[in-house]
Amino acid sequence: MAKDPVRILVTGAAGQIGYALVPLIARGTMLGPDQPVILHLLDIPPAAESLNGVKMELIDAAFPLLRGVVATTNVVGACKDVNIAIMVGGFPRKEGMERKDVMSKNVSIYKEQASALDQYAAENVKILVVANPANTNALILKEFAPSIPEKNISCLTRLDHNRALGQVAERAGVSVSDVKNVIIWGNHSSTQYPDVNHAVITTQEGEKPVRAIIADNAWLDGDFITTVQQRGAAIIKARKLSSALSAASSACDHIRDWVLGTPKGTWVSMGVYSDGSYGVPSGLIYSYPVTCAGGEWTIFQGLSIDEFSRAKLDATAAELVEEKAMAYLCL
């Protein structure tokens, strides 16, 4: 029996990440090869012509799963009846701008979009915030979408999670599919903590701890962490553009696992609303290890946190508390 189409909103759809993301969704990378989709593409009026070009290309690509495209600069029209919203659009930090200036710009953007989603999106809409500062933008969105449950609003740290998987696989000389259960704790910023203490690598003899395979604690506690933290800046330096392909792929991974579930014995990293787990202040959007089933995420509990990790978790939480206070001053 054919499935009903899922309506998926992508904001900032004419931008780099949006342009990389929408064909992946239309091809079935996000929700599977048998799930039809209708894409709702939103961007600002100056990008209207480019946005229409994206729509034209989607039509020209003749994706079998694509049942329709709504391309608009109208927020209400874009949000109407959507089941999934991927918030890629945001105001980027420019040279000479303070963090509070970026925060103020994004508050106005997310206030309008959150209000429209609150009123016009489908019941039980799932929202993923990609635009930076992603954790705090998600928190702002939550404030202005009071009828949308906290559990339905998340932010993207899967990009950092995937970067960590890639670094471990490269160092160990294994396929990335053989590595699982790295964790990104905290903020999608340079204070995030990529943690391999509970990660494993599948070998011919079974699963073994990453620290047993990569017997180099200096690298795992040093260069590995800073490489993942600073990977976005390194890509900008190399490409002269920010991450697009990897960000789009990670957004698909995030939604796919959230909707379809995580494999047994595997957790992934998602920025979700903190309930105080692992000593993190409640009321933040914080990246945790989560498992997903039945369209719901659950913070994975019971992991041991050593002294080194505790300091890292607390430092990134402190930054988020500061960003939250700054954002609320802009409300």
The residues annotated with a catalytic role in the active site are 188
Measured between alpha carbons, how far is 156 from 144 in angstroms, rounded to an integer?
19
User: H-helix or E-strand containing 308?
Assistant: helix 307-330
DSSP reduced 3-state for 197 = coil
Measured between alpha carbons, how far is 148 from 143 in angstroms, rounded to an integer?
10
User: Looking at this protein, which amino acid is placed at residue 138?
Assistant: A
* Helices 245-260 and 158-172, packing angle to 10 deg: 110
Contact (CB, 8 A) for 204 and 196: no
User: Closest Cα to residue 3, out of 79, 61, 65?
Assistant: 65
Contact (CB, 8 A) for 192 and 160: yes
The two three-digit tokens of residue 50, written as one number? 């480019």
Measured between alpha carbons, how far is 40 from 35 in angstroms, rounded to an integer?
16
The two three-digit tokens of residue 175, written as one number? 């396929």
Measured between alpha carbons, how far is 29 from 219 in angstroms, rounded to an integer?
34
User: Closest Cα to residue 18, out of 91, 86, 109?
Assistant: 86
**Exposure b/e, 208-233, CB count within 10 A at least 16 = b:** eebbebbeeeeebeeebbebbbebbe
Query: What is the end-to-end Cα distance of the chain in Å, rounded?
Result: 47
